[in-house]
Amino acid sequence: MSTIETIVIILLLVLILCFAWALTEINSLKKLMKEKPRTSDSDTLKLRLQAYERLSVLTERISFQNLVTRIPNAGLSSREMQGALIENIKQEYEYNVSQQIYVLPDIWKAVNNLKEQNIYIINQLASSLPPHASAMDLSKQIVDFTIRNPKATLSNLVHDAINYEAQKLM
C-alpha cells in the first residue's frame, strides 16, 4: 500500500468520524429542544405584544399634536423649537429601537418612516418661517399643517398598522 493510499484511507476515516460526531450532536440538540419547556412560546408572545404596545406609545408621542403640546415653547425661537422637536423625536425613537427585534420588519420600517417624515416636515415648516420667528409661530405652523392635511402624516396609519398586528397576536 502506497503512502497516498494510506493518507486517503486516513482522511476517509476522519471524515466518517466527523460525520458520526455531527449526527450525535444534532440528535442531542433535537432531544434538548424537545425537553425545553413550552413556556417560551408564551414568553415570546408577551414580549412581542409589549413591543407592539411600546411602538404604539412611540407613534403617539411623536405625533405632531402630542409633540407640540408636550414641549414648552415659552421664550424659544422657532429654530430652538425645531431642534427641541427633532431631538425629542430622536430620543423617543432611540429609546424604543430595541423593539425592532420583536415586531415584523414592515412594522419597524413604518415606524422608521414615520420618524423620518416627521423630522422632514418639521424642517420644511421651520425653513418656511422668517429667521426671527418664535417657537409659537412654528407650533402654529405645525398645527395648521396637520389640520389642513390630516392624511399627510403617517401617525394614524402607522398606529393602525401596529394595532392590527398586535390584534393578530391575541
Q: Are residues 81 and 111 in the same domain?
A: yes
- At 83 the pLDDT is 95
Q: Are residues 31 and 57 in the same domain?
A: no
Q: Are residues 47 and 25 in the same domain?
A: no
pLDDT tens for each residue of 29-82: 877 777 655 545 788 889 999 999 999 999 999 999 899 999 888 889 999 999
CA angle centred on 93, ends 120 and 80, rounded to 5°: 50
Q: Are residues 13 and 47 in the same domain?
A: no
The residue range of the domain holding 2 is 1-36
Q: Are residues 82 and 126 in the same domain?
A: yes
Q: Which residues face 134 on adjacent strands? A: 77
pLDDT tens for each residue of 81-126: 999 999 999 999 999 999 999 999 999 999 999 999 999 999 999 9
* 92 touches 62 (CB < 8 A): yes
- At 30 the pLDDT is 78
* 47 touches 102 (CB < 8 A): yes
Number of domains in the chain: 2
- At 84 the pLDDT is 95
Q: Are residues 24 and 53 in the same domain?
A: no
Q: Are residues 30 and 97 in the same domain?
A: no
Q: Are residues 139 and 110 in the same domain?
A: yes
Q: Which residues face 77 on adjacent strands? A: 134
In which band, very low, low, confident or very high, does the pLDDT at 25 lie, cut at 50, 70 and 90? confident
- At 92 the pLDDT is 95
Q: Are residues 79 and 155 in the same domain?
A: yes
Q: Are residues 49 and 101 in the same domain?
A: yes
pLDDT tens for each residue of 115-167: 999 999 999 999 999 989 999 999 999 999 998 887 778 888 999 999 999 99
3-state secondary structure of 77: strand
Q: Are residues 11 and 85 in the same domain?
A: no
Q: Are residues 46 and 32 in the same domain?
A: no
* 158 touches 60 (CB < 8 A): no
- At 5 the pLDDT is 78
Cβ neighbours of 125 (radius 10 Å): 21
- At 98 the pLDDT is 93
- At 66 the pLDDT is 92
CA atoms of 153 and 146, how far apart (whole Å): 7
